[in-house]
A and B are shown apart, each in its own frame.
Chain A
């Protein structure tokens, strides 16, 4: 992974302006960078500002103070907002509320029509995007005949067609059942392997375990940062923040308390299995000798 930052968030504060006098502060001096090709997860409980910060990444919101730079373009530059948004695509929470057209392929083309791509190239890009999310067979279907996971895949295709470098998912799996969630995670995993930068805002800890890096937000600030393994090691601190850890991590901690030989820093299900096997072999060897 190269350490080239494609998004730089510098000291960003933001308040929602309710009316003339009243403003609700949401973010307080948040700074971080998103590096090219990384898989970044942002977690935090409701109202921690995680969704608000994600909406700053492609200029849907502009900071009250501080700056966000996408590829060296400040998101305040309204004239270049198309450039920013075709580089950083965003998938939202509700599968139904982000599909514009009456059939799948038209919806995928919507963004391309907006940025004025020539029709011949558009066809190519739509084919590519539908193929990438495995929805080619559904191209002529109306969206209401699709499942939640399929709708989200169409939404991702709509973003992919614009050939972004970074995909931001704002709780994109939270409205889906576990099957739909697996569909989306499969697609995201594949895109990440192909070099796409992924930023995911989520409260599903099993998704977080797959990320390269985690930011934990609380009260509009970043309070923890590190690899998933580092972050999930602080189980008590996370509990104070009303955050969960992956099941694997919780089990590892419980077993670790009883049997110190069992590693506590496990975050994936398969690691538990391996750890059990490892200890089993060791005890077998010990009793055998």
Chain B
């Protein structure tokens, strides 16, 4: 029962695991670039062998970053129902779309062919690969580095008047306040529970009831959020923040040959993934 209120313990945003590996020490800008290249390749690659290769690459990345594999697997676990549902849907409804190959079974609109099975297997593998890769990225990069990296990568968009800094600041503040609000919520849940409210005791399928149970928390939480925002604006203004004004940057990243090499290697891996036949 007590575990229900321990929200601050379960915050997984910024699940940084500092092992100081090669991957950890990469410049976040290049790490994100390499990550995007790999994700794109995985999204396009639709061969069994290519995806096996990608899976192998993921495992190597875990090894290189000194991150125990069970972190990746625990990321996959909650996705398993979705993967299964997706697989069933594809199996049932994709016969018309993924044409070709040998047809094993046909009944009404359900067509199961070798192409459909390939699609199902490859989609499931992609899912796992993407989760593994993102785990490596988020476990080896602090949220601060990530936002810095994104900000720098989006930098060129400033030329077309995209408010890159404001965007990065929004993300930073959002991340910054997650633990604060979790703590706040914990406090409110305890306060409400001590006055007899019960949370999460309804059966899981009674979604409406369980949602309604949360109202006494959600509404005060909004209230708190707004008053905190007001304070934060004052504090930011007091420190000379002007929206849209030119600023300098504190965090400095200097790319090393290692970073270029990382992007290069990922490009080669991506190409291999795409040209592998079968």
Contacts and interface: CB of A to CB of B under 8 A. Distances in A.
A38 to B, nearest CB: 21
A103 B246 CA distance: 22
B9 interface: no
A67 interface: no
Interface stretch (A89-97, A187-195, A197-205, A272-280): A89-97
Contact of A117 (B142, B143, B248): B248
Interface in B63-81: none
Query: What 4 A-B pairs have minimum CB-CB distances, sorted nearest first?
Result: A98-B235, A109-B250, A97-B231, A111-B239
B234 interface: yes
Given A112-B248, A116-B248, A119-B252, A96 B228 contact: yes
Nearest to A120: B252
B159 interface: no
Given A97-B228, A98-B232, A100-B172, A126 B180 contact: no
Contacts of B183: 144
Which of A89, A102, A123, A144 is most buried by chain B, counting CB atoms within 10 A of its CB? A102
B258 interface: no
B241 interface: yes
Contacts of A99: 176
A113 B247 contact: yes
Given A60-B237, A94-B231, A159-B239, A126 B250 contact: yes
Which of A94, A114, A116 is most buried by chain B, counting CB atoms within 10 A of its CB? A114
Given A98-B231, A100-B232, A101-B172, A106 B250 contact: yes
B236 interface: yes
A29 B118 CA distance: 81
A285 B240 CA distance: 63
A114 B245 CA distance: 8
Given A92-B234, A105-B250, A126-B250, A100 B176 contact: yes
Contacts of A105: 250
Contacts of B246: 116
Give the secondary structure class of B's interface. Answer: helix
A119 B242 contact: no
B244 to A, nearest CB: 12
The size class of the interface chain A forms with chain B is: 35 or more
Given A58-B238, A96-B228, A97-B228, A102 B144 contact: yes
Contacts of A110: 236, 239, 241
Interface in A62-99: 81-82, 85-86, 89-90, 92-94, 96-99
A225 to B, nearest CB: 26
Contacts of B236: 100, 110
A162 B240 contact: yes
B250 A85 contact: no
A102 B173 CA distance: 8
A115 interface: yes
B239 A103 contact: no
Given A90-B238, A109-B250, A100 B173 contact: yes
B234 A118 contact: no
Contacts of B180: 96, 144
Given A94-B231, A97-B228, A113-B249, A103 B240 contact: no
B202 to A, nearest CB: 31
